[in-house]
Copies of this chain bind each other. A is one copy, B any other.
Amino acid sequence: MNHAAQSTPVTGHAAPSATRPAISVGIVGASGYAGGELARILMDHPGIAQLQVASAHHAGTYLHALHPHLRPAFGHDPIRIVSLDDLAPCDVLFLAQRHGMSMGEIDRFARYAPRIIDLSADFRLHDPQDYPRWYGHAHADATRLATAVYGIPELHRSELPDATLISGAGCLATAAILGLRPLVATGLLDQQLPLVIEGKVGSSALGATPAPGSHHPERSHVVRAYAPTGHRHTAEIAQELRWPIASGSVSGGIAFSATAVELVRGVAITAHAFIREKLTERDLWQIYRQAYRDEPFIRLVKERAGVYRYPEPKVLAGTNFCDIGFEVDPHAQRIVIIAALDNLMKGAASNAIQALNCAMGWDETTGLRFTGLHPI
């Protein structure tokens, strides 16, 4: 389609080429929210020839019984969840289970598929010592940990084609890392001062299992400090920003807090970075444009007027975008960075598909062109 006058060229429907045939994939952990969204995207992905969905506890039920948006229309058969035992070998296996369930089971899953994309936290941190520190238990497979690729394509695109184990990234961590990395990379931040990051997060980020704190009358309209300190994503952020976690000295370090807000889907971070020399807005535009101008899923959002002047997670629901904005404090050596994304998409499922597209050498946006809804 071409627009008349102020036209926008839109590329034709990208697909695996004749020389890149469609593949077969499986999802383990189909009952979770990320599993459901993986299934949705893969069902309509032209690179996927066969899809299996498996779950330890829900084998035999229809996928749409858990994920009502996947209810088939007339003439389309429903998809039934299989047990892990019934899973057939495939080209790529997505693991969308709870943290801790993949760590010791990669040998087993590797028998199903030569390539694994694990959305849990089990292979995110390179240093095995970080697991006892942040997750409270030792890592069970330090060998594979060393080979896993941290699967944010904007950071590790070139490593993906050869990776046999790709790790998903934390939702808040993805927003923080993509939002801050270009600024950190300038070397202009004052490492003696803290890097303060406030994350806000919707209820779907805590998963599909009911709990007292997720009971609607209790969770509704909260502004709930659920991790003022000690949030596990701190470790990923430090690793990918190559910025120290504060460690007893007053100076510097990542100071991360997370607050649950009324929202089902979406996370946003507000980061306060302190600079040694004055940067202007124009400098920041340049820094960020330079870093991301070839990225299909990063947008800079910084308007002088209007309702949507900065990134806003609600309009990103269902998309693979990470929107990033910034503001220079006129009173201080402070840059405020705002980044937002859909925790189940760019923060989980669609980011994993983007990584798959990269790994397979497909057009990176295949299956991921939904631009969101407004109003919502």
- In the assembled complex, the Cα of A9 lies from the Cα of B249 at a distance in Å of 47
Q: Tell yes or no: A353 within 8 A of B by CB.
A: no
Note all chain B residues with C-beta closer than 8 A to A186: none
Q: Which of B22, B223, B318, B334 contacts A263 (CB 8 A)?
A: B223
Digitize A24-58: 1 where CB-to-B-CB distance is under 8 Å, 0 elsewhere. 10000000010011001011111011111000000
Note all chain B residues with C-beta closer than 8 A to A284: none
The answer to whether B76 touches A9 (Cβ under 8 A) is yes
The answer to whether A69 touches B372 (Cβ under 8 A) is yes
Secondary structure dominating the interface of A: loop
The answer to whether B376 touches A1 (Cβ under 8 A) is no
List A residues 210-255 near B (Cβ within 8 Å). Answer: 210-225, 228-230, 234, 245-251, 253, 255
The answer to whether A228 touches B374 (Cβ under 8 A) is no
- Stretch of A94-102, A116-124, A145-153, A188-196 with 4 or more beta carbons under 8 angstroms from chain B: A188-196
- In the assembled complex, the Cα of A126 lies from the Cα of B202 at a distance in Å of 40
Closest B residue to A334 by beta carbon equals: B255
Q: Which of B5, B48, B312 contacts A68 (CB 8 A)?
A: B312
The answer to whether B190 touches A264 (Cβ under 8 A) is no
- In the assembled complex, the Cα of A333 lies from the Cα of B247 at a distance in Å of 8
- In the assembled complex, the Cα of A333 lies from the Cα of B245 at a distance in Å of 11
Q: Tell yes or no: A185 within 8 A of B by CB.
A: no
Q: Tell yes or no: A259 within 8 A of B by CB.
A: yes
A155 to chain B, nearest CB (A): 17
Known: A210-B212, A250-B275, A373-B317. A7 touches B50 (CB 8 A): yes
- Stretch of A156-164, A165-173, A291-299 with 4 or more beta carbons under 8 angstroms from chain B: A291-299
Q: Tell yes or no: A75 within 8 A of B by CB.
A: yes
Q: How many copies does the complex hold?
A: 4
Q: Which of B78, B257, B334 contacts A336 (CB 8 A)?
A: B257
Note all chain B residues with C-beta closer than 8 A to A318: 318, 373
The answer to whether B217 touches A264 (Cβ under 8 A) is yes
Q: Which of A86, A315, A323 has the most CB of B within 10 A?
A: A315
The answer to whether A262 touches B262 (Cβ under 8 A) is yes
Note all chain B residues with C-beta closer than 8 A to A263: 221, 223, 262
Q: Which of B223, B259, B375 contacts A217 (CB 8 A)?
A: B375
A223 to chain B, nearest CB (A): 4
Q: Which of B71, B213, B274 contacts A299 (CB 8 A)?
A: B71
- In the assembled complex, the Cα of A80 lies from the Cα of B3 at a distance in Å of 10
Q: Tell yes or no: A18 within 8 A of B by CB.
A: no
The answer to whether A255 touches B217 (Cβ under 8 A) is no
- In the assembled complex, the Cα of A36 lies from the Cα of B40 at a distance in Å of 24
21 contacts between A and B (CB under 8 A): A6-B78, A8-B43, A33-B374, A44-B369, A71-B323, A194-B196, A196-B272, A210-B212, A214-B215, A214-B216, A215-B215, A217-B375, A221-B376, A223-B268, A225-B310, A228-B327, A228-B336, A229-B327, A245-B331, A259-B268, A318-B318
For the A-B complex with A74-B292, A228-B270, A255-B334 known, give 5 more contacts whose Cβ atoms are closer than 8 Å.
Answer: A69-B374, A75-B296, A190-B250, A217-B376, A218-B307
Which A residues fall within an 8 A CB radius of B?
1-10, 13, 15, 22, 24, 33, 36-37, 40, 42-46, 48-52, 65, 67-80, 82, 86, 88, 90, 190, 193-194, 196, 198, 200, 202-204, 208-225, 228-230, 234, 245-251, 253, 255, 257, 259, 261-266, 268, 270, 272, 274-276, 292-299, 301, 303, 306-315, 317-319, 321, 323, 325, 327-334, 336, 338, 340, 369-376
A-B pairs with lowest CB-CB distance, top 4: A246-B332, A217-B375, A6-B80, A69-B372
